[in-house]
Amino acid sequence: MDVDSSMVAETDHDPEGLTHNGATSEQLEQSPSAASGSPQQQQQLQQQPQVQQSPVAGPRTAPTYSVVNAIIEKKEDGPGPRCGHTLTAVAAVGEEGTPGYIGPRLILFGGATALEGNSAASGTPSSAGSAGIRLAGATADVHCYDVLTNKWSRITPFGEPPTPRAAHVATAVGTMVVIQGGIGPAGLSAEDLHVLDLTQHRPRWHRLDSRSLSSPFMCRNTNINLHE
Would you write out the chain's pLDDT as a tens digit for each of its 228 residues?
454 545 444 445 454 544 444 555 555 455 444 445 567 776 666 666 666 666 667 788 888 988 889 999 999 999 999 999 999 999 999 888 898 899 999 999 999 998 777 554 444 444 444 456 677 789 999 999 999 999 999 999 999 999 999 999 999 999 999 999 999 888 887 678 999 999 988 899 999 876 655 444 433 333 333 333
Name every residue whose Cβ is closer than 8 Å to that of residue 86 and which is 6 or more positions away in sequence: 108, 109, 110, 111, 168, 169, 170, 179
pLDDT of 58:
76
Q: Annotate the chain with three-state secondary structure.
A: CCCCHHHCCCCCCCCCCECHHHCEHHHHHHCHHHHHCCHHHHHHHHHCCCCCCCCCCCCCCCCCCCCCCCECCCHHHCCCCCECCEEEEECCECCCCCCCCECCEEEEECCEEEEEECCHHHCCCCCHHHCCEEEEEEECCEEEEECCCCEEEEECCECCCCCCEECCEEEEECCEEEEECCEECCEECCCCEEEEECCCCCCEEEEECHHHCCCCCCCCCCCCCEEC
pLDDT of 223:
32
- Contact criterion met (CB below 8 Å) for 195 and 205: yes
**Residues in the chain, how many?**
228
pLDDT of 129:
44
pTM: 0.61
Angstrom distance (rounded) from CA 183 to CA 168: 7
pLDDT of 55:
67
CB atoms within 10 A of CB 100: 10
pLDDT of 108:
98
Instruction: Tell me the one-letter amino acid at 195.
Output: V
Nearest Cα to Cα of residue 137 among 103, 162, 170, 112: 112
Angstrom distance (rounded) from CA 197 to CA 158: 10
pLDDT of 224:
35
Angstrom distance (rounded) from CA 150 to CA 11: 98
